[in-house]
Amino acid sequence: MAALTRSHTSRVAQAPICSSASHRNTYTAAIAFGANIGDRLANIQAALQLLPQHGVEILRYSRLYESDAAYVTEQPAFLNGAVAASTELSPKDLLAALKDIEARLGRSFHGQRWGPRPIDLDIIFYGGLSMQDELLEVPHARWAERSFVTAPLADLYSARELPCQQPGLAGMLERVHQVRSMPGHPGADDVGLRCVLPLPSNRLWQWQDRTAVMGILNVTPDSFSGDGQVDSIDSVVARARGMLADGADILDVGGQSTRPGAQLLSPQAEARRVIPVISALQADLETKDAVLSVDTFHSCVAAEAVAAGAHMVNDVSGGRMDPNMFAEVARLRVPYILMHMRGTPATMQSRENTSYASVCEDVGRELQSQAVQAIAAGIEPWRIITDPGIGFAKTAAGNLELIAGLQRVREQLSGPLHQMPMLVGPSRKGFLGKLTGHKVAAERDHATAAAAALCVAAGASIVRAHNVRAVYDAVRVADAVKGASTSAAFAASS
């Protein structure tokens, strides 16, 4: 989606969704969207981009879902989601605006009901209004029976929403949230409903299936972990093949050391290291289908890497070291790993940068602040992966507290970000060396595996690792234990 204009910046992802007395003619609505033919994601992005032209301002996004077709089942799967929006349009005028957008994007209104469509836009709630006539029924008649509607609507709910004096959209979303939170409700595990993260070339990553392992492919001679020596491009490709064989789901290519006190490379020097590697991985038959991430805080390197075949951008600065990063990632339309760090690698371990009132809450709030800016720049929440930044501007005690308190970090993230993937990277970090006495980073793989399992238990969706095989095994055990615990809890509540 193109970057939003400055007039939207202060409201996207943080505006309340209940009207106030000072905005008597402004109403809030929940609009569901779906698409199952053509370029589904491009159709959705185009539809959302057209909303402001009709006087509809997006306040909040849901996550992105893929769902099996309902009612008429012999058709392709849908991409679904929802937005909370503000508008001065009446319900019928809003309906007309949505129909105009559908028509502009090629939808025919003479085909099979519930059949294939390039875009579908529905008013689910319009404040707390109830109405019905021959053209429109609000709330939507079938919203409660459709998990591909209730799941996105629940994402729009925020426990921090200030209570409205009059029942409105916030109250309706709270009702959806309560229904989906009832004991015995399948929630996000609805049959046929998959939470997805879009990758380039129309690939979808079903990130809730299991914890993913990101293999660290350093191509820098001064990596703290000692694994960055590069003899040739062929040797890097061989390492990548080994990581994939050991179970890596993502390969993270980095050309710049971010160890404490590291000297930073220019974007040009960094690009000379990583772009040939990404190109070679794309050309190799054994690695060409791998999901590739570029580890960079330079927007120009991110752009070159995506052009060469990278699928996501991993920014250790969370957008703080390059003011153009958010806008560039929005243009690239790739997933963005937004990590927490204070200062730069040269200053991040200063007393000022490692001091927190409460490390989990402070890190969560600072991630949320950066995410709000990223969303305002045009990066949809369903593309954002957060990372609390283990080892970056943290003390050893702070790292341990973060791993134990990942849920407390999540609690500071609002809307869909609360439930979007979280990456954690404890691999071979110095605090593990202090705990185990291993001064050599490469000797910390057993400790890393233990930390990885604890991260999964605390709610991590992706674990970043140097030794992929060790962490893969630890993560599979942690996933199995976590799954057994969830199944037992569900059985007890049913």
Whole-angstrom distance, CA of residue 142 vs CA of residue 389: 43
pLDDT at 159: 66
Catalytic residue check, 272: no
Selected catalytic residue, list 464, 469, 476, 482: 464
Is 429 in the active site? yes
Q: What is the CATH number of domain 6-195?
A: 3.30.70.560
Pairwise CA distance, residues 396 & 97, whole Å: 55
- Would you list the domain boundaries of the chain? 6-195, 210-493
Residues 199-223 as b/e (b if ≥16 CB within 10 A, e otherwise) read bbeeebbebbebbbbbbbbbbbeeb
Which residue among the candidates 333, 429, 444, 469 is catalytic per the annotation?
A: 429
pLDDT reading at 12 higher than 70: no
Query: pLDDT band at residue 414, thresholds of 50, 70 and 90?
Result: confident
Which one is predicted more confidently, 1 or 118?
118
131: left (phi over 0), alpha (psi -120 to 50) or beta: beta
Tens of pLDDT, residue by residue over 330-344, are: 999 999 999 999 999
CATH fold of 210-493: TIM Barrel (3.20.20)
Question: What's the pLDDT tens digit per position in 248-273?
Answer: 999 999 999 887 777 789 999 999 99
pTM, two decimal places: 0.89
184 pLDDT band, cuts 50/70/90, is low
pLDDT band at 398 (very low <50, low <70, confident <90, very high): very high
* Mean pLDDT within 370-387: 96
Helix (H/G/I), strand (E/B), else coil: 136: coil
